[in-house]
Structures are given as structure tokens and as C-alpha cells.
């Protein structure tokens, strides 16, 4: 079943990023689970809607395909041995960059099949500094 992220946040489909952020912050403040009377389910739903609508690529994909994504959704594994995602949850969004700056790890593909996916920590470049220390 497709979710209406615009309705969840209470904004129009033509809303800009600032309006979306403002609506999300209002709902997050209202439904935060740590707040008395907060609603964790509504908070998570608002967070999911904001994470899609605040990202230009995800928003364009949502506007085109809905929350079910380009696979058509609604397929809870029907004939697919890897679940309802069509491609086992593999994210093809990196291929839109034409190969420029796209980092590919074979573990991303096979991680779901063999014991789950582990989060990979991206490291920055190592910094090396030479320091001369003189002792009197």
C-alpha cells in the first residue's frame, strides 16, 4: 500500500524544501516519543516522509512511482525468493551518476544473501605530519 508523504506532513505537492522542513519539525516536536503524549508511530512516519521529500532524487522518484518505488510495490515476495523489493533491497540510485564518483562494493550485493548487511564505516584520508622535537 502506497503512503502519501505529502498528506502525512500536511503540505501540498508543490511545497518547497523550507515548507517541508517546517512541517516536519512541527510534527516531530508534537509526536516525539520522549515527549509526554508523544506518538512513536506517527513520529517515525513523519521522519520517513521527511527523509524522502527533503532529498531531491528520492522526491522525484516518489513523485513518479509513489512510496512503493519503481518495482510496483504490493509484491510481498510473490514468486521472488529474495522478498518483496524486486531486487532484494539493492539500491540502484548510484547508477544515475553515470559512473562518476560511484563507489561499488561487491559486499553490498551479497551481504543480504549471506548473513545480512553490516554497516560500512567510510574513512577519510589518513593525515601524516612530520614534527621535529629537540631536547636541550
Segments making up each domain of the chain, as ranges: 1-71
Rg (CA), the chain: 21
pTM: predicted TM-score of the whole model, two decimal places: 0.50
1-71 fold: Helix Hairpins (1.10.287)
Compute CA distances 18 → 53, 66, 72, whole Å: 11, 22, 30
pLDDT of residue 66: 80
pLDDT of residue 125: 80
**Per-position pLDDT tens, the chain of length 136:** 578 899 999 999 989 999 999 999 999 889 888 888 888 889 999 999 999 999 999 999 988 888 766 654 444 444 444 444 444 455 555 555 444 444 555 555 555 555 555 556 677 787 888 888 888 8
Compute CA distances 84 → 17, 55, 75, whole Å: 31, 24, 5
| C-alpha to C-alpha distance for 65 and 59, rounded to whole angstroms | 10
| C-alpha to C-alpha distance for 47 and 30, rounded to whole angstroms | 12
Amino acid at each position: 500500500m502506497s503512503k502519501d508523504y505529502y498528506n502525512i506532513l500536511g503540505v501540498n505537492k508543490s511545497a518547497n524544501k523550507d515548507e517541508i522542513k517546517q512541517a516536519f519539525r512541527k510534527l516531530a516536536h508534537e509526536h516525539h516519543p520522549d515527549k509526554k503524549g508523544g506518538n512513536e508511530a506517527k513520529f517515525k512516519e513523519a521522519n520517513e516522509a521527511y527523509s524522502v521529500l527533503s532529498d531531491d532524487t528520492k522526491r522525484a522518484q516518489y513523485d513518479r512511482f509513489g512510496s512503493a518505488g519503481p518495482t510496483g510495490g504490493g509484491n510481498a515476495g510473490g514468486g521472488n525468493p529474495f522478498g518483496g523489493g524486486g531486487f532484494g533491497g539493492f539500491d540502484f540510485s548510484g547508477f544515475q551518476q553515470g559512473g562518476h564518483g560511484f563507489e561499488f562494493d561487491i559486499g553490498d550485493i551479497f551481504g543480504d544473501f549471506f548473513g545480512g548487511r553490516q554497516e560500512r564505516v567510510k574513512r577519510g584520508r589518513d593525515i601524516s605530519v612530520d614534527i621535529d622535537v629537540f631536547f636541550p
